[in-house]
Structure 1
Amino acid sequence: MPLRRSGPARRTVPIAAGTLVSFLSVLALPLALPGLATASETSKRPAHPEADWMGSTIVAHEGGAPADGPEPRAGHRRAVAGVDVSSHNKKVGWSALRRSGVRFAYVKATEGNNYTNPYFAQQYRGSYSSGMIHGAYHFALPDNSSGSTQARYFADHGGDWSRDGRTLPGALDMEYNPYGATCYGKSAKGMVNWIEDFVETYREETGRDAVIYTSTNWWKRCTGNSGRFGRTNPLWIPRYGSSVGALPAGWRFHSIWQHTSSGHPVGDRNRFNGSFSRLKVLANGDD
């Protein structure tokens, strides 16, 4: 199973006169190495990253109930089933999920610039080995370090992309701050600039546009409902109700809907907004 990129090589930067250092990845995927950030940025280590998973702050701030009813039938043109997992799920039974109809999975890889999911190897490789299309996501802490720093950390610690037909572009998890001020102490303009810094760097590192996970309420509150990313970055929206509801500005449609956080045995369940063949297009990077 390919774990590293087959896309464009990393950029090179000068470290001394006439000397270059390459950012080409090693073959083995680094899974739990300490961060490579500067000492000034490592001072804000997250206190409880195991409790910060995709959507962990949504119900607390927005309320709502999980969607009722059975899971969409696998292969249905408008309801390709998926899950997202993090370290709080520990070892996941991927074969059983695959037999139940789950066709894709996103796995938390990193948070901030100095945390990696200790279960990432089992979750990321296990989902792939079971026959699913898989991807990785990053839990953003915009008051921790710059967007570019976190994008590089993510790409170096599991968030890379491979042109293997079964690896989705990395996802940026933008939601309520689990450690303090809702918008991480940033103005709307400052938040938009931080996100832009992340997604532009991620594209430079991997050749792909990151998926953006966010709720409409958070997006309105913390970015001023910016429409800057709708044409480039696929939208993954959480809403635990009977429909997706209103979308943030700039997006005409969503790509993934996180529709419940109470599924069994993995709580966070998702639906891809299209056929399985379109999901493969997203993985391949084709238009």
Structure 2
Amino acid sequence: MVRSDRSNTRSPRSGRRRRRPLGPVLAALLATAVCAAPAIGEPLSTRSAPRLDPRDPGGAWAGYSIEGAGGASTAPRALPAGALRGMDVSGHQGDVDWGKARADGAQFAYVKATEGTGFRNDHFGQQYNGSAGAGLVHGAYHFALPDRSPGAQQANFFVDNGGGWPADGRTLPGAVDMEHNPYGEVCYGMDPGAMSRWIADFSNTYRARTGRFPVIYTTANWWNRCTGGNPDFAPNNPLWVARYGPQIGPLPAGWAYHTVWQNSNNGPLPGGQDVFNGDIAQLTRFVS
């Protein structure tokens, strides 16, 4: 994919009005309604993501807020012939049998490295090095917590803890996971302008450290809601889109195509089930 070298500096489109506080009765009724589980595989659109226990040693993972309360999973999806199958894992998968994953069809993997500025995946070494040892193209991802610290600080923490990009022909550029807040309000209490500036701060810092813009993992729902549909990242940042369903559906605003599609959390491989949008030659060019 051809990317320009401009930085992400433009202001987003905003214009959303703040809602007035709900009355106590209406608030109670609404709270009851939103506790119902969403349709399996659908992004959460009208409620906050279910809260994780902040003491959870596994932290959040890519696609957490799509699954919804109760850990509902989606059915495996049939893939087109020749599709490059991949996976994404976090500390919740523990040590992975990478030889089996390769035998089951995995050709690439993203591994959670960090979250915020204080969390490191305890299984990162086994997962990251093990995937490479089994012959998979691999990369690391960071679960963003934009309300905790600046984007540059989290990008540096990510790079310093396994998220760098060596030009070795087998490493995917690092990814930043931008999705519903698992610990509170969907958009982390930030307006679209502030959120877009945070992502640009992370993205530009990561590029300065590694020479590559990071991949952005997100859903169309979250992106359009929490960045105001900011299109300015699409020319530089490859898209890893999460959409659990038989079709990929509309992409987040700005992107005309995706690079990776996370289509399910249930399949032959541990963790999230991913598909690369291209053939092996295109994957080789992408990592190079």
Give me the TM-score of the superposition, normalised by structure 2: 0.78
**Is the CA contact 2:242–2:261 (under 8 Å) kept in the aligned structure 1?**
yes
Structure 1 residues 69 and 218, CA gap change in structure 2 (3 angstroms): closer
Structure 1 residues 47 and 191, CA gap change in structure 2 (3 angstroms): farther
CA deviation after TM superposition for structure 1 residue 282, in Å: 1.1
Unmatched segments (≥5 aa) in structure 1: 1-44
Structure 1 residues 205 and 188, CA gap change in structure 2 (3 angstroms): same
CA deviation after TM superposition for structure 1 residue 212, in Å: 0.1
**Is the CA contact 1:64–1:240 (under 8 Å) kept in the aligned structure 2?**
no
Larger RCO, structure (CA 8 Å, separation 6 or more): 2
- Measured in 2, the distance between the counterparts of 1:265 and 1:81 equals 9
**Identity percentage over the alignment?**
50
Matches within 5 A, 1:1-150: 46-48=54-56, 50-60=58-68, 66=74, 68-71=76-79, 76=82, 79-150=83-154
CA deviation after TM superposition for structure 1 residue 221, in Å: 1.0
Matches within 5 A, 1:248-259: 248-259=252-263
CA deviation after TM superposition for structure 1 residue 241, in Å: 0.3
Opposite residue 50 of structure 1, the aligned amino acid is G
- Measured in 2, the distance between the counterparts of 1:128 and 1:153 equals 22
SS in 1 for 2:68: helix
**Is the CA contact 1:72–1:80 (under 8 Å) kept in the aligned structure 2?**
no
Structure 1 residues 186 and 102, CA gap change in structure 2 (3 angstroms): same
Aligned pair count reads 235
- Measured in 2, the distance between the counterparts of 1:145 and 1:199 equals 14
1:155 is matched with which residue: 153, 156, 159? 159
Matches within 5 A, 1:145-224: 145-224=149-228
Unmatched segments (≥5 aa) in structure 2: 1-52
Q: Residue 266 in 1 paired to residue 270 in 2?
A: yes
2:230 is matched with which residue: 226, 235, 239? 226
**Is the CA contact 1:46–1:112 (under 8 Å) kept in the aligned structure 2?**
no
Render the CA deviation track for 1:48-102: whole Å, top value 9, x for unaligned.
35140000111328x99735444555xx1xx110000000000000001101111
- Measured in 2, the distance between the counterparts of 1:156 and 1:88 equals 22
SS in 2 for 1:82: strand
**Is the CA contact 2:77–2:264 (under 8 Å) kept in the aligned structure 1?**
no
Render the CA deviation track for 1:103-158: whole Å, top value 9, x for unaligned.
00000000000111010000000000000000000000001100000000000000
Give me the TM-score of the superposition, normalised by structure 1: 0.78
**Is the CA contact 1:139–1:172 (under 8 Å) kept in the aligned structure 2?**
yes
Structure 1 residues 274 and 81, CA gap change in structure 2 (3 angstroms): same
Opposite residue 226 of structure 2, the aligned amino acid is C
Opposite residue 257 of structure 1, the aligned amino acid is W
Structure 1 residues 51 and 187, CA gap change in structure 2 (3 angstroms): same
Structure 1 residues 108 and 247, CA gap change in structure 2 (3 angstroms): same
- Measured in 1, the distance between the counterparts of 2:94 and 2:221 equals 30
- CA RMSD of the aligned region, Å? 1.9
SS in 2 for 1:158: helix
Deviating more after overlay: 200-209 vs 261-270: 261-270
Opposite residue 165 of structure 1, the aligned amino acid is G
CA deviation after TM superposition for structure 1 residue 46, in Å: 4.8
- Measured in 2, the distance between the counterparts of 1:65 and 1:87 equals 18
